[in-house]
Amino acid sequence: MNITERKNVMTLTAFSTAVMLFFALVFTLDNINQPAGEIIRWSSKIGDYVKLEKPQSVEYHGVFSFDGINDTLVFQKVIATRMDIFINGKYITTFGDGTGNLWPNAITLRIPNEILKKDGKNIIKLRIYGIVGVGIYGKPYLTTLHNAKVIADTINVFRNSISFVGIGVSAMILYLLLIALESAREIERRVYLNIIIASVFMILSLLQFVYRESSGSSVVYLIFEQFARTSPMFVLTFLTFAIIELTSFQAHFKNGFKTFTVLLPTTLTSIMIYSTKIKFIHILAEVADIYAVILLALIVFIVARYRVVEFVFPVTFMFLTGLQTFYVLMAKRVSELTIHYGRIVFLVYFGMTTLGKLKELSEKHENLKKENLMDHLTGVMNRKAIDMIPRGGTLVLMDLDGFKLINDKYGHIEGDKLLKKFAGIISSNIRTGDYFIRLGGDEFCIVFKTVEQKDIPKVMERLYNECRNQIGIGFSYGYGPFDNFDTAYDIADKMMYEKKNLIYKSQKR
C-alpha cells in the first residue's frame, strides 16, 4: 500500500468513526430523554422554543393519571429562569428565582400523594419565566422517585458534567500550550497561540452551561447568555486560524479577510453586550449562528482540500454537531444541543496531539543531549559532560599503559577495539551514581560520588586487576577532590605522572 492509499484509508476510517460517534451521541441523548412512566398530556405544544422580546412568563396546562405508584415528576429539560408548579389548583413549589438557567439540570419533583387523585384526571399548570426565551424539551412524565433520580443523574452527566469536563480540558490545554510555546517553532507558536485563544473562549462559552438556578441579577444572567451566543464564533475563528497555519491555504488567506473574521464576532459581541433590546439580541444571535456554520464549512473544506488527515476525525465530528445545533436553533426547537461536544472533542484531540508533540520534542532534546554528551567510539560520556556533573566527590584520572605502542604495532582499528573493551569493563564495575568519561585518546576519568577518597586506591586496584585479566593491559591513575575540574585534573595528573615515573624507573632497573 503506497502513501496515497494509506492516507485514503486513514481519512475514510477517521470520517466513518466521527459519523458513527455523532449518531451514537444523538441516539444516547435521545434515549436517556425518553419518557419512562406516565406521560403528561398537554393542551398546547411544548417542544417549541418561544423567543421573548422582554422578560415574561408563559403558562402550560396538562393532565395526567395517578396509579398510586408513580408520583415523581421528571422534566428532562426546561429552558427558563424560573418555573412555578401547580397541581390540582394547589401551588406546589418553585424552581429558580428568575435570574439563572434551569436547563442544564434535569428537574425532578415528588408530588404529595394527598393532593393526587387516583380516580380521575390530575391537572398540572406550569408557569415558566424567561428573559430571552422559554421552552420545555421532551415529554415530561411521572415515575417512581428512585427511577427519577437515576434518570436525572444520567441526563445531568451527559448535559452538565460534560461542560465541567470541557472547562477542565480547556484549562489543561492552555497549560500544555503555554509550556509548548517556549520551545515551539514559529509556525507552531502561531498554531498554539490560536488554540490558546480558542480555549479561553471555549471556557467562556461553557460557563453558561453550568451557571444555573440563580445569579441574583438578571443583568448578569443576560451577559452570560450573550457570551454563550457569541463566544463560539471566537472559538471557531481561532480554530480556523490554527488549521490554516498547518496548510498552504495560508497563502490565500489575506490579512484583510483575517481582520474581518476577527472584527465581525468582536462587533457582534460589542453590540450584543451594550444592547438593551432582547429582540435585537435574537437577530444578532442568528447572524452569529450562520457565521459559525460558515466557519465550520471553511474548516471542513481546508481539511479536505489539503488532506490534513490527522484532523479529519475532530473536524468532521465538530461539523456534524454544529449542523445539528444550527438546525435546532433555526427550527426553534428545545432539543439537546451537541455543538459543545464537538468543540470539547476537538480541543481534547488537539490537547492530546500537543501532548504527543511535547513528548516527541522532549525525546528529541534528550537524544540530542545524549548525542552531544556521548563518545561515539566507546559509548561513555565525553568531555562535555564534565560541566553537567555536580561538584563534589573525587576525580580519578586514568591513562592506559603502553597504548601508543599497541596502536603503532597493531593499528588504530585494534586500538579502538581495546578502548571499547576497556570502557565496557570500567562501566560495568562502577556504581550508577558515579560518572565514567572519556577525555580523549586513551585518557579517561571517573568522578566518584559513591566512594570515599580514602577507599579510592582499593577500588582502583580492583578495576586494574579486572582490566589486566580481561584485556591484558593495565592503567595508571591519579586522583584529587572534584571541587573544580581544572584543579582536580592538575592534582590527579601530577599524581599519575609520578606513578608512571616510578613504574618506568622500576622497569629500567
Question: Which residues form the domain of 164?
Answer: 3-28+159-366
Alpha helices in 397-452 (DSSP H): 403-410, 412-428
Q: Please, is 497 exposed, middle or buried when counting C-beta atoms within 10 Å of its C-beta (0-12, 13-18, 19+)?
A: middle
Identify the residue with better confidence: 443 or 251: 443
> What's 396's domain CATH number?
3.30.70.270
> pLDDT tens digit string along 11-50?
889 899 999 999 999 999 989 989 988 999 998 878 788 8
CB 45 within 8 A of CB 137: no
**Do 79 and 211 fall into the same domain?**
no
Of 111, 143, 175, the position where a domain reaches its end is: 143
> Distance between CA 354 and CA 195 in Å, rounded?
10
> pLDDT tens digit string along 89-144?
999 999 998 888 888 889 999 999 999 998 889 999 999 999 888 999 889 999 99
Q: Say if residue 167's pLDDT is above 60.
A: yes
Residue 441 counted as domain residue: yes
Grid coordinates of 237: 475563528
Of 366, 398, 431, the position where a domain reaches its end is: 366
The DSSP symbol for 77 reads E
Residue 377 counted as domain residue: no
**Do 426 and 400 fall into the same domain?**
yes
Residue 66 counted as domain residue: yes
- Mean pLDDT, the chain, whole residue set: 85
> pLDDT tens digit string along 236-292?
888 888 888 777 666 666 667 778 888 888 888 787 777 667 877 788 888 888 888
What three-state secondary structure class fits 439?
Answer: strand
Residue 225 counted as domain residue: yes
The overall longest dimension of the chain from CA atoms, in Å, is 127
**Do 176 and 217 fall into the same domain?**
yes
Which residues lie closer than 8 Å to 127 by C-beta, 6 or more apart? 57, 58, 59, 83, 84, 86
> What's 98's domain CATH number?
2.60.120.260
> pLDDT tens digit string along 300-326?
888 888 777 878 898 899 889 988 988
> What's 20's domain CATH number?
1.20.1070
- Residue range 490-500: average pLDDT? 90
Residue 453 counted as domain residue: yes
pLDDT at site 273: 72
Q: For the chain, how many structural domains are there in total?
A: 3
Residue 153 counted as domain residue: no
**Do 52 and 23 fall into the same domain?**
no
Single-letter code of the amino acid located at 401: D
Residue 372 counted as domain residue: no
Q: Which residue has the cell 387516583?
A: 118
**Do 336 and 387 fall into the same domain?**
no
Query: In terms of Cα–Cα distance, which of 52, 126, 112 is closest to 82?
Result: 126
Number of Cβ within a 10 Å radius of residue 243 = 22
Residue 95 counted as domain residue: yes
* H and E: helices and strands count for the chain: 13, 16
Q: Say if residue 215's pLDDT is above 80.
A: no
**Do 295 and 197 fall into the same domain?**
yes
**Do 284 and 430 fall into the same domain?**
no
pTM score of the predicted model: 0.65
Of 97, 119, 143, the position where a domain reaches its end is: 143
> pLDDT tens digit string along 46-84?
878 888 888 899 999 999 999 889 999 999 999 999 999
- Residue range 421-433: average pLDDT? 89
**Do 99 and 233 fall into the same domain?**
no
**Do 223 and 359 fall into the same domain?**
yes
**Do 347 and 406 fall into the same domain?**
no
Confidence of residue 390 (pLDDT cuts 50, 70, 90): confident
**Do 212 and 338 fall into the same domain?**
yes
Q: Say if residue 509's pLDDT is above 60.
A: no
Query: In terms of Cα–Cα distance, which of 385, 354, 333, 382 is closest to 136?
Result: 333
Q: Please, is 56 exposed, middle or buried when counting C-beta atoms within 10 Å of its C-beta (0-12, 13-18, 19+)?
A: exposed
pLDDT at site 232: 82
**Do 198 and 322 fall into the same domain?**
yes
